[in-house]
Amino acid sequence: MSKTDEIKTLFNEYVMPTYSPELVLEKGRGSKVWDTDGKVYLDFIAGISVNNVGHCHPRVVEAIQRQAADLMHVSNLYYTENQARLAWRLSRLSLDGKVFFCNSGAEANEGLIKLARLWGHENEKYEIISMTGSFHGRTLATAAMTGQEKIQEGFEPMPEGFFPADFNDLDCVRAMITDNTAAVIVEAVQGEGGVVPADEAFFKGIRELCDEHGLLMLCDEVQCGLGRTGSWFGYQAYGVTPDAFSLAKSLGSGYPIGAVVAGPKLADVFGPGKHASTFGGTPLACAAALATLDVIEDEDLVSHATTVGAKFQAGLEELASRYEHVEGVRGRGLMLGLVLDQEAAPVTEILRDMGLLALATAGNVIRFLPPLNVKEAELEEAIEMLDEALEIWHDDLNAAAEAMAEAAGAVEEPAEEEAAADAETGEEAPAEEEAGEEAPEEAAEEAEEEEKAE
């Protein structure tokens, strides 16, 4: 048995089947990964927007190794230097408030929920308005806040107090505000929803609505934060400041860490005993995060995401103009989606076989999330592979359409041939009853009735 088959066998026997993996990956460097058979792939998923500085960046690796040799975990019963320095860095980059550390995006969003409810508790404000197409996690509360029914199916009854409004529809949000509303949560760009950016008027309108009604504006920056969209955080592109936001994924470059980043209004709402996390903000996790921030700053990756993102988007738009089943491109920075007029999975499968990893999302969208330090040559290589994949896919679609047309024609042909043969012989198919004629049995019955009547 090969190493690949051995790993798949062990995995399928002992790991719960919450995913459907295909490849067995064992090494990553920069924008590339290798499978156990030695094949190399361009990774334009980046761990679902986790590896923003690429796989195994030397500075992140070195920081983790150095910290692991000194102190990995002591719990939050004690002060630790890395956590203090990371909280300061994140606050200075964003809201000038305070930070709560956890381990994942779902935990960060759970933190936002608890923060909003605790803030609004005295005034009986506990409801949170989210958006259709949003994604905030898979815990019960974050799944309830997620605006996708498929995430909630089978787990009912869901926790109460969450109401999805139509994304990019300010009137819908306004109509859902009640006396019990505490907050509105929004993503600057919806990733799982199909790489859909918020309209500028909508995003700014959310801030104005929250100010008007005394509500909190919360942002989910788990996927679109830390330079992904061409600004440090997605909300900054709109010139709007939320009251708090969640952060995770790329913060630790693959080492699990999440954060609730709050502005001054919410900085001291959590007190001792109100919220906690055993592993939140460990010295090791914070070392990884500090190194990640250093790389993004020192290599100017926020600007790089804007520059190369624009070039990548232009390449995608050129492809969209040439292929009839491609409807367009949307997104921001290096968070881009190619929108098809049907399911995207067949295309991502072709791309995978060719050596490019991309993600099908929202059914008909191919999502691209390359590392922020991706090279222009790698983007060009990806465009070339995508061009070839789209051509193969269109040929497959055309062949399938032709086969269906031939099959339909084959069904109609025998009937047409029979009608033509009848026309040549002058014969017609006998009718069950000719007009004006009676079946023998019916004629005999009528004669008998007439005799009786006489």
Overall domain count for the chain: 2
Tell me, yes or no, whether 419 lies in a domain: no
From 298, 330, 347, give the residue that closes a domain.
Answer: 298
Q: 133 and 245: one domain? A: yes
Tell me, yes or no, whether 177 lies in a domain: yes
Q: 279 and 305: one domain? A: no
Tell me, yes or no, whether 121 lies in a domain: yes
Amino acid at 364: N
Integer CA distances (angstroms), 178 to 184, 186, 360, 391, in order: 12, 18, 37, 51
The pLDDT value given to residue 134: 97
Q: Which two tokens stand for residue 199?
A: 């309209």
Q: 277 and 143: one domain? A: yes
Task: Report the CATH number that the domain containing residue 342 is assigned in CATH.
Answer: 3.90.1150.10
Distance CA(338)–CA(102), nearest Å, equals 33
Tell me, yes or no, whether 69 lies in a domain: yes
The pLDDT value given to residue 454: 37
Integer CA distances (angstroms), 344 to 191, 364, 402, in order: 15, 5, 21
Amino acid at 268: D
- Is 220 one of the annotated active-site residues of the chain? yes
Q: 86 and 155: one domain? A: yes
The pLDDT value given to residue 433: 42
Domain that holds residue 164: 58-298
The dihedral over CA atoms of 347, 350, 355, 359, expressed in degrees to the nearest 10, equals 30
Q: Which of 100, 135, 202, 233 is catalytic?
A: 135
Q: Which of 245, 249, 312, 368 is catalytic?
A: 249
Phi/psi class of residue 139: alpha, beta or left (left: φ > 0; alpha: ψ in -120 to 50)? beta
Q: 230 and 285: one domain? A: yes
Q: 254 and 392: one domain? A: no
Per-position pLDDT tens, the chain of length 454: 899 999 999 999 999 999 999 999 999 999 999 999 999 999 999 999 999 999 999 999 999 999 999 999 999 999 999 999 999 999 999 999 999 999 999 999 999 999 999 999 999 999 999 999 999 999 999 999 999 999 999 999 999 999 999 999 999 999 999 999 999 999 999 999 999 999 999 999 999 999 999 999 999 999 999 999 999 999 999 999 999 999 999 999 999 999 999 999 999 999 999 999 999 999 999 999 999 999 999 999 999 999 999 999 999 999 999 999 999 999 999 999 999 999 999 999 999 999 999 999 999 999 999 999 999 999 999 999 999 999 999 999 999 888 888 888 776 666 556 666 666 665 544 444 443 444 444 444 444 444 433 3
- Is 341 one of the annotated active-site residues of the chain? no
* Contact indicator for 43, 28 with CB cutoff of 8 Å: yes
The pLDDT value given to residue 437: 43
| Nearest Cα residue to 144 out of 167, 127, 163, 118 | 163
- Is 249 one of the annotated active-site residues of the chain? yes
Q: Which of 101, 203, 220, 245 is catalytic?
A: 220
Cβ-based neighbour number of residue 266 at 10 Å:
22
The pTM assigned to this predicted structure is: 0.88
Distance CA(451)–CA(454), nearest Å, equals 5
